[in-house]
Structure 1
């Protein structure tokens, strides 16, 4: 066990400083952006990128998009107190010795610091070093992020392991106090967040050959932005992902699900994308290494591609790297060590509803190249999504070809699998567009859209649980998540409340089982469902604009109150409200009644979208509405741009995506809308807006709107 007792500055150059702790052990601090401190500790050849071998560099790039250093640090040494202060803009980290401590400041105020004792401990007496870093956690400091949960939003009191599937973990933690943490490791990371035996300590333990920890200091918006930049911005999903989906059910034929979609279309519930159920539509040949379309399931593949992957309904197809046991190919790949193997060198076999399979080892470059390139060929010039079916559970005794095993392999494998599928879809597409639908979280989740939930809804508590899963996932660095309308049609009240909430999400799908479909209701309920479907189609420009905005800022589409209003402590108590993009506050009714208590965040005014009434922020409303609507409030200074009612995405006019704009008070901000070309300028108390040509403007009370050619002037009534 090693504790830091001395620091000797041995190198200082642009954006980094290097301290010697003792022989062969070094502390390196880097600036990758303003307010971002990268803390690395270990042997010199483990923490200096220029000394890494090619394989280590490749693995590092799997998680990081930004390795370059930022501008010069300002370093001040206080020899008398054995202290260094490393400043970067308005942020700094202070290093102390005897005892060792790190103190992070913003504008001179302490934001985050390590504990007074045992701040950083290195255990070199295990197979691989264990790095333990302890941060002080004041009683009023809540920790958010760290993955998907239906429990408390604050993760205080929890112990999480990065490789445990039931923890649904993501490696990003943050606080409204102005700090965020990202442990950059593919190995096992343990988080103890103010657990019972140490309630005022946030302990991180990383089992890796070096410590690599990103510390973000800034506003919550800054922290999300910098975390997203560190990992890599998500790609934009194609327009085809934004419509209504229909999920094929197990055992249903392709013909049957097409007929189901056609029947829904005829009744006014237009389906845009059909998501095919498992098993994979790409089959390994029995005796040679190739993948081909499943012609038994899809029929004439050329016709299938022409009708569904290029012209007709959009299709999302399932894929999975499972090689059937008992085939000549399975034996050949087992002998070549192209499959994941157990300690005895035998292929790891997984039982599925469709037979026993071995798992193609995608950590091996030749297997990865084959898997990716073959999907590129099969999907070439098509507009389709990929559905990654099933979670691959990898026990400790399973090994990859190059020795990866245990927690390392459990985190590395899904990362490689998802990356291969994204690259196969986006190949030759500029800008890159792909839709990778999957349910399991991985270290890749913040980088790709398409995360989805299958969550059965039998009562209002189930809706609350789903909403919590949505908000906690998106508070962990994932910009969006969709879900299925897996709600029984026995209760029209439950269905309509859930559908209204779903309209204000990144997307949702119907399930091709009669007990879940909207055409099973009475005519009056069906008409109300169509109202919500129409509203969803009108919101597509705003939803896509939200996702485009999220890819630039890292802020999610659905923002829990702590994300959207970090300084308003009262708002944090209203856990089922959320900000949908920057402009809309949504407060769903999640019980059998017609009333909900709503808190309007302080510091700005809010406009009731249903009534047009303006309310000052900082107040609580007892709000009543029936199942024909949902409480939504527009944020003053913002606008909501909406498109026309569409009968499916095939009617979407990319040349004219909008037909109406709602003003929430005097416009101060550019609106969030796909391919945004609307600009707001302020002059002499009025707003001048370009890009409103031909749009119907719904103005707030107290405003005067005048059109001047291509420009609209909005001013207060005199």
Structure 2
């Protein structure tokens, strides 16, 4: 592949500070008034201008914090992320105390210091769990400025916040990240991007603005715009975050990781329960070229006694896609390559296999769907009023899911395919909305970009649910609230051991941000030159990992069928597929728990061992539900070191019993 600039990549991650940027910090509280469920504080900034900071006891153990760059009281309107725009009716008290005031509510004790202005949150026992940082400075000025706002020379305004970090505090979450579970000492850009791999620092398909702290709190940044979260990278004592928006809005959840995720998903939605067959074996390739090739794969699996429940067809099912370089979707079936669609689907079902089809939310400009969508105003537009193109394809148009009629039109495109018996859709892409695009909601792409995957996947999920009774997508991009519409996969991992490790780390970060049902491309998506297959050893190790993941799908740019990697690979995949089937009742029980509480099926050790410091940093092994600890092998060898938390552990393979905490090989 020729080297070329990738338009979805930022030139450089924006730091909290920028040339000419002027920070204005809040300095003292001068007054307050009671509001529904909380208090509105009058706060002066360093220039003596007044602002209003709104604190709301939103639910037991949950505090909402809002402020603006001006003196307006922040509003609490509808949001696609939140299930409700109004807080629970909680009994709260406001008590004046020396140097400030105390707001108390169920599970919350919020202490506000008057001067310097500072918010600190304690649990019911009085243990401080969360606090703003107001002392990170030297004799020369601020190292990390406290809460306030900033302006740039071009007039751009944003808001920022600073939180205190304790010396031993660990931080996890923010969606899929590839460099390790613990975010301490890292800075994360929250801006969805097509990463072209699972090894980049600031790029992710799933920038999910929720992080968890070992101090006993979680924080959801409830803003859709481009944001930066500095987890002690610039200053070791401060977690700073900044948003390119006129208003700051975040939620604080108190509790251990399980409690935080339960409270977070009560706010943003529990994951739907996938159908039972979704926990079976999926086979896929980028790309099966025709019907005969797909049917040959199904027969090959059956002939070798290899379980198969779903086969996925990537974009070549679409008429005209073979002649295009870039991906787009108009739902027109290619009956030359895949003749007799109904017979094709019926034949697969007769073999016990369901069909999944690919799509993305970008409509090619050379077809009837584009003409209809343009005439009816169903696309995002440029500032000049023309259909806006995604940053990855100038020959396509971005569907405007903020327009209810456009969303209904897109949903209707699925109906005929679902009536044929298509089981679900892989909702690919969604990360490439240009910032300057205009939407029917009145927003620009700067506000829609990060939330676009939520609107896109909601539309397809609900279309599937309306036709089949059970919603399901196979999604790549995500943000806060996306857990409502399962399932998700990690994206395009490199077919290397490093790519395999990146996939697991991505899944653990996704779990820490509320992602419950997740999988990855078994075998890796592409090699270093795009089309080099994985080695047989890598394929087998990845298959073992994948078949012990919540969702198990083989996929890549070259064949990922087991017989392509030799007889040993066939035998191992068969054995681990049978093991997966034996575990299906267990996986289903874990899935029901996820749907009821939000607890991810695949998760890091910290969810079940929050008091263990190593559990917050161990990221090359995971828990599959509460009872199984899985430790994939990430090299050509035959063994590895495994960390066992406290308790008695039974080795699945040889019946040996170990007692943790400790390491075993």
Segments of 5+ residues of structure 1 without an aligned counterpart are 285-289, 623-718
Residue 156 of structure 2 corresponds to residue 119 of structure 1:
no
Q: Structure 1 residue 559: deviation in Å?
A: 1.7
- Contact (CA 8 Å) 2:391, 2:433: kept in 1 or not? no
Distance 1:338 1:462, change over 3 A: closer
Residues 1:139 and 2:139 aligned together = no
Choose from 341, 346, 366 the match for 2:386: 346
Normalised to the residue count of structure 2, the TM-score between the two structures is 0.82
**Correspondences of 1:155-170 after superposition (within 5 Å):** 155-165=183-193, 166=195, 167-168=203-204, 169-170=207-208
CA shift, 1:254, in A, is: 2.1
Deviation of 1:443 (Å): 3.6
Deviations 1:524-580, CA, capped at 9 Å, x for gaps = 553333211110111112122222212222222222223332211244454322211
Could you say which residue in structure 2 is the equivalent of 1:597? 641
- The whole-number CA distance in structure 1 between the counterparts of 2:189 and 2:553 is 32
Change (3 A) 1:72 1:44: farther
Determine whether 1:610 maps to 2:653: yes
Alignment of 1:356-371 (within 5 A): 356-371=395-410
Q: What does 1:351-430 align with in structure 2 at a 5 Å threshold?
A: 356-376=395-415, 378-380=417-419, 382=421, 384-427=423-466
Instruction: Give the alignment of 1:193-592 within 5 angstroms.
Output: 193-196=231-234, 198-250=235-287, 252-279=289-316, 281=318, 293-304=333-344, 306-308=346-348, 312-327=352-367, 330-331=370-371, 333-334=373-374, 336-349=376-389, 356-376=395-415, 378-380=417-419, 382=421, 384-427=423-466, 433-455=470-492, 458-486=495-523, 491-511=535-555, 516-592=560-636
Preserved CA contact (<8 Å) 1:100 1:120: no
RCO higher in 1 or 2 (8 Å CA, sep ≥ 6)?
A: 2
Using the alignment, how far apart are the partners of 2:283 and 2:488 within structure 1?
16
Q: 1:183 to 1:513 in 2, by over 3 A?
A: closer
Report if aligned partners of 2:93, 2:103 keep a CA contact under 8 Å in 1. yes
CA 1:350–1:98 in structure 2 vs 1: closer, same or farther (change >3 Å)?
A: closer
Note the alpha carbon deviations across 1:78-114, whole angstroms, 9 max, x for none. Answer: 1x42x11122344311111111001111221221210
Instruction: Give the drift of 1:279.
Output: 4.7
After superposition, the C-alpha distances for 1:650-674 in whole angstroms (9 at most, x for unaligned) are: xxxxxxxxxxxxxxxxxxxxxxxxx
**Contact 1:489–1:521 (CA<8 Å) still a contact in 2?**
no
- Give the secondary structure class of the aligned counterpart of 2:179: coil
Distance 1:507 1:111, change over 3 A: same
Task: Give distance in 2, aligned partners of 1:352 and 1:301.
Answer: 30
Q: 2:111 corresponds to which residue? A: 94
Residues 619, 252 of structure 1: CA spacing in aligned structure 2 closer, same or farther, 3 A cutoff? same
Segments of 5+ residues of structure 2 without an aligned counterpart are 1-23, 136-144, 196-202, 322-329, 525-531
**Pairwise CA distance, 1:381:** 8.6
Q: Report the 3-state secondary structure (helix = DSSP H, G, I; strand = E; otherwise coil) of the residue aligned with 1:115.
A: coil
* Corresponding residue of 1:39: 65
Q: Deviations over 1:22-57 (max 9, x none)?
A: 7984322222222111112248986344xx5xxxx3
Q: Which residue of the partner structure matches residue 52 of structure 2?
A: 26
Q: Residue 474 of structure 1 contacts residue 558 of structure 1 at CA under 8 Å; is this kept in 2?
A: yes
In structure 2, the CA distance between the partners of 1:383 and 1:34, relative to structure 1 (3 Å rule), is farther
| Preserved contact between residue 323 and residue 330 of structure 1 (Cα < 8 Å) | yes
2:438 partner SS? coil
In 2, distance between residues paired with 1:282 and 1:9? Answer: 63
RMSD between superposed Cα atoms in Å: 3.2
**Distance in 1 between residues matched to 2:222 and 2:61, nearest whole Å:** 17
- State the alpha-carbon separation in 2 of the partners of residues 264 and 451 from structure 1: 25
Distance 1:11 1:121 in 2: 22
Cα-to-partner distance string for 1:173-218 (whole Å, 9 max, x where unaligned): 111110111011222322122123x221111223334322100111
Instruction: Report if the CA contact (8 A) 1:411-1:443 is conserved.
Output: no
Alpha-carbon distance change, 435 to 282 in structure 1, aligned in 2, over 3 angstroms: farther
Whether the 8 Å CA contact 1:351–1:357 is kept in 2: the answer is no
1:266 Cα deviation after fit: 1.0
After superposition, give the CA deviation of every residue in 1:319-375 in whole Å (9 maximum; x if it has no partner): 23333324566456445543222222222345989x932223222222122112343
Q: 1:75 aligns with which of 74, 87, 94?
A: 94
Secondary structure in 2 matching 1:387: strand
**Corresponding residue pairs, total:** 602
| Cα 1:453/1:619, change in 2 over 3 Å | closer
Rounded Cα–Cα distance in structure 1 between residues aligned with 2:534 and 2:446: 44
Query: Contact (CA 8 Å) 1:514, 1:520: kept in 2 or not?
Result: no
* Cα drift, residue 19 of structure 1: 3.1
Deviation at 1:469, TM superposition (A): 2.0
Closer, same or farther: CA 377–310 of 1 in aligned 2, 3 Å: farther
Match of 2:21 in 1: none
**Distance in 2 between residues matched to 1:489 and 1:352, nearest whole Å:** 25
| C-alpha spacing 1:575/1:186, structure 2 compared with 1 (3 Å) | closer
TM-score by length of 1: 0.76
The structure 2 residue matched to 1:183, chosen from 214, 221, 235, is: 221
- In the alignment, is the contact (CA less than 8 A) between 2:430 and 2:452 conserved in 1? no
> Closer, same or farther in 2 for the Cα pair 1:202/1:598, shift >3 Å?
same
